[in-house]
Amino acid sequence: MSAAARLSLFVLIGWAALAALAPLLRLTPDAISLPEIMQPPSWASWLGHDDLGRPMADRLICALRTSLLVVGIVVPLSAASGAAVGVAAAWRGGLFDACIARLMDVFLAFPGTLLAIAMAGLLGPGIGNVVIALTAVSWVGYARMARAQAYAVKTREHVHAARVLGTPAPAILLRHVLPLIAAPLLMEATLGVAGVILAEAGLSFLGLGVQPPSASLGAMLRDGTAYMLVAPHMVIVPGLALLALMLACNTLGDALQHRLDPRRTLSLMPAA
């Protein structure tokens, strides 16, 4: 593993640990303190204070917790639902598969961000609706991949054998198909993490995500841009945190992709 990939892993583990342990840290993200309004970073408060005098460090940790929470729900949920739809379509084939394929075409025809913004906007703000909107947009990537992979695995001999032996379809899918398509799906999910972090922050930046006083990287950035002239730390701090997360996710995703060379995975497939 390269030094950059190791650093990225360290950043992501640090993010997860900080977010998970946040309740134990006795943070005061909502403590308004008028004398400290827009105080720049100092030794006493190492990331400074925001426009209501709330400590930026505490808010940042809570914001990281928000993005971890959203990633932790959206990525598994969309991967599982997408994989289920994709595998079912490939297994059943025929009209059902054709309908699913057209549905996927329609979802893929939208720029993802646009659909997420429109859905979150119409559903109304709040973290629950962010999760719904992002899942509704991301399932299709997993479904497409699972469908293509399942098509290739479906015709393999061990699956034929299981069928001939009378194994029920759910058991075949679960025990003989899913394990073979899990690696590319996991890869896709790893790459999806960065997208979900960014999308959550983007929706909150537009005011469509997490609502105040809850902290989110996007909402912190939006507040920060309003006071950019007088308190640049308010926009620099959450921005750097988001940039570090995105860089770490992308670097690690690249490294993983390099390791799981798609050509090697393809060579496992039988010639069609």
Partner 1 sequence: MIGFLLTRLFSLAAVALGVVSLVFLLLHLVPGDPVEVMLGESATPADRGELRRSLGLDQPIAVQWARYLGKLSHGQLGESLHSREPIVELVTGRVRATAQLGAAALVVSIAIGLPLGVGAALRDGRRLDRAALALTALAMSIPSFWLGPMLILLFSITLGWLPVSGRAEAGAIVLPALTLGIPLAAALTRMVRASMLQVLSEDYLRTARAKGLPPARVTVQHALRNAALPIMTVLGLQLGGVLAGAIITETIFQWPGLGQLTIESIQRRDYPVVQACVLIISLTYVVVNAATDMLCGLLDPRVRMA
Q: Which two tokens stand for residue 40?
A: 């720049």
Among 80, 152, 206, 256, binds partner 1 (CB under 8 A): 206
Binding mask 112-131 for partner 1 (x = CB under 8 A): xxxx-xxx-xxxx-------
The nearest distance, CB 31 to partner 1, in angstroms, is 26
Q: 3-class SS at 268?
A: coil
SS3 49: strand
Amino acid present at 97: D
Instruction: Retrieve residue 45's tokens.
Output: 């408060």
> Given the rule CB under 8 A, which of 11-19, 78-86, 159-167, 227-235 is the region that contacts partner 1?
227-235
The answer to the question of residue 202 lying near partner 1 (CB under 8 A) is yes
Q: Is 3 exposed, middle or buried (0-12, 13-18, 19+ CB in 10 A)?
A: exposed
Identify whether the C-beta of residue 38 lies closer than 8 Å to the C-beta of residue 230.
yes
228 contacts partner 1 (rule: CB under 8 A): yes
DSSP characters over 16-67: HHHHHHGGGGT--TT---GGGTTPPP-SSSTT-B-TTS-BHHHHHHHHHHHH
Q: Which stretch binds partner 1 (CB under 8 A): 27-35, 76-84, 97-105, 154-162?
A: 97-105
239 binds partner 1 (CB under 8 A): yes
SS3 98: helix
Does 193 contact partner 1 by CB under 8 A? no
Residue 192 in contact with partner 1, rule: CB under 8 A: no
The site for partner 1 (CB under 8 A) is made up of: 102-103, 105-107, 109-115, 117-119, 121-124, 194, 198, 201-202, 205-208, 218, 221-222, 224-225, 228-229, 232, 235, 239, 242-243, 246-247, 250-251, 254
